[in-house]
A and B are shown apart, each in its own frame.
Chain A
Amino acid sequence: MPLSDEPQPVNPPLNPPNEQASHRRLTAFLAAMAFFLSTVEYMLPRPIPFMRLGLANIPILFAVDLLPLPWYLLLALVKVLGMSVLTGSLFSYIALFSLAGTMTSALAMRLVRRVARHRVSLIGLCVAGAVSSNLVQVLLARLLVFGQSARYMLPAFLGLGLVSGLALGFAAQRFSTRSAWLARVGGQHGQSRS
């Protein structure tokens, strides 16, 4: 369907897709999905303190190939806000860790996709995102709270990042090859935006 920069007629007969509106809708939908997954994650018991699966990152992982950068970053930001509201940490400096972790992971996944294009699957993207997010959080703990001692957290955080990244990556990859919804949305929003 042709796209133009000209203003769309009011109440167009067949709703020609307005790109911005369509990105906005998809961003809102993925953000809602992230909120829902945050809630699910919050309900799951944690076998090890600090262990988080990072379910709410799945929408961001899909968005790597679906949204242009500004909308993509907005989605990551909204996810952090939503999660902080859910866990009640919005106005504490814990939210800073969440923000740094999510934004780093989002940017890392985007960067890997941009450099490697489709020579990397959602599995590699997800591991890169999870590990870089955990690395930055340890770095932040080193700088802001615990000092030198924070290096002791590295093995646990790197290991957990790898395991959760692999688990979510495989799940997301499997979902992406089977989902009719993702195929439709991917067709509308393009497969390899960068």
Chain B
Amino acid sequence: MIRHKPSFTLLDGLIILLAAFAFGYSALVVYGGPSPSSVVVSAGGKDWVYPLSENREFAIQGPLGITRIRIHDGSAYFTESPCDNKTCLSSAHAHASGDWIACLPNGVFLRVEGDATEGQVLDAIVR
């Protein structure tokens, strides 16, 4: 049976362009920020801000239990998590503005941003 099947069409191109534009725009907004200076950890509706330049280790309480995070030599990563899939532990270390690591099951989100806290000498800020 011979059927007419459209191959690549103009509308396909338009849909792809639209998706590429959305990607490009969001990437520009997220990654185009100032140079990385702080680590922002969100959990349970709260944000904790730590300087990226200071080595430290801390624990965040999520609905499943404790997630441990380490900041070391200018990059941040999860070292321990109570979740099942451990996707967060295998994520690449976050070190550039816009980098992020998420643990969906335990509701912990870490991101690196360059912001107004740069240069402030603080242990941690709770927003």
Please give the residue numbers on chain A whose beta carbons come within 8 Å of chain B beta carbons, in ascending order. 48-50, 88, 92, 94, 97, 112, 116, 118-121, 123-124, 127-128, 131, 141, 145-155, 158-159, 161-162, 165-166, 173, 176-177, 183-184, 186-187, 191
User: What number of A-B contacts does a CB cutoff of 8 Å give?
Assistant: 109
A94–B102 Cα gap in the complex (Å)? 13
Query: Are B5 and A152 closer than 8 Å at their CB atoms?
Result: no
The answer to whether A149 touches B26 (Cβ under 8 A) is no
With A149-B100, A153-B102, A177-B5 as contacts: A162 and B16 at CB distance below 8 Å: yes
Per a CB cutoff under 8 Å, which of B10, B42, B90 touches A146? B42
Interface of B: prevailing SS = mixed
Q: Give the total of B residues in contact with A, Cβ under 8 Å.
A: 40
Residue of A nearest to B86 (CB): A49
- Contacts A97-B104, A121-B9, A153-B102; A112 near B15 (Cβ below 8 A): yes
Indicate if B87 sits at the interface (CB-CB under 8 A). yes
Contact in complex: A131, B22 (CB < 8 Å): yes
Q: How far is the CA of A165 from the CA of B47 in the complex (A)?
A: 34
What is the interface of chain B, defined by CB distance below 8 A to chain A?
Answer: 1, 3-12, 14-16, 19-20, 22-23, 26-27, 30-31, 40, 42, 45, 47, 84, 87-88, 90-92, 98, 100, 102, 104-105, 107, 109, 111
